[in-house]
Every structure is written in C-alpha cells, then in structure tokens.
Amino acid sequence: MKLLLIISAVFEAAVGASLLILPSFTASTLLGAALDTPAGLVTGRIAGAALIGLAVASWSARDGERLGPARGVIIAMLFYNFAAVAVLVWAGIRLELRSPMIWPTIVLHLALGGWCLVSLRSSQRRSIGG
C-alpha cells in the first residue's frame, strides 16, 4: 500500500502542478481540447490545486498511523484552500471575472484554510505537551 500511495502522490502532484501552471496545455494534452476561456483556465487551476491536495493526502498517508490520517487530510485541505484563494484572487483581479460569488468564495476558502492552520497548530501543541 505504501508504494501505491507514493506513486499516486507523485503522479497527482505532477498533473496538478501542470494544471496550475499551464492549464490549457495540460487539458489539450490530456483531453485533446484546450481550456480557452477565462472560466476554463480558472476551473483548470482549481482542479490542479485539488489534485495537489490529493497528492499531499496520499503522501502524508504513506507512513500509516505515524502522522495520523486526519492530520494528512487537514494538511491537504490547508494547501487546497489557500491555493483556491490564490487562483480566485487572480481570476477576480487579473482576469476581471465578475461574479457576485467570487469574493465571498475567497473569504470562505480563507476561513477554512485558517481553520485548518489553527487545527494543525493546536494538535501539534497537544502532541508535544502530552
């Protein structure tokens, strides 16, 4: 199982990074169709962030119970939420996408990412202290 998780993490991270950096090229290469609209680019990048989150979860789980499965998932969600914030801010400012939901969604992802961070820090303090 450890090898499966490592290989999954590596492949998901590679495709996720490619989607984050070059979403249109990656979609065109994998699917034969480009993401040629601003919304398509944002969707591709959000998918890339989600794949990297999955890679982080797989990588964290490779050692079984040593880190604890919940901690790995929270680390993955921390990455995903802050990556989603970065992509959505870029979409709102640079691509000038205008949706009444874009900024509330950014705030929601910031809050969830912050909650992940607080959770990780408090669990780290608990494990050190006792």
% of the chain with per-residue pLDDT over 90: 57
> 123 versus 40: which is more confidently predicted?
40
Does the pLDDT of residue 70 top 90, yes or no? no
Reported as a pLDDT band with limits 50, 70 and 90, residue 2 is confident
Report pLDDT for 111.
95
Long-range contacts of 84-91 (CB under 8 A, 24+ apart): 84/46, 84/49, 84/109, 85/109, 85/110, 85/113, 87/20, 87/42, 87/45, 87/46, 87/49, 88/42, 88/46, 90/45, 91/38, 91/41, 91/42
What's the gap between Cα 21 and its chain centre?
Answer: 13
Does the pLDDT of residue 74 top 60, yes or no? yes
Average pLDDT for 70-74: 81
Does the pLDDT of residue 69 top 80, yes or no? no
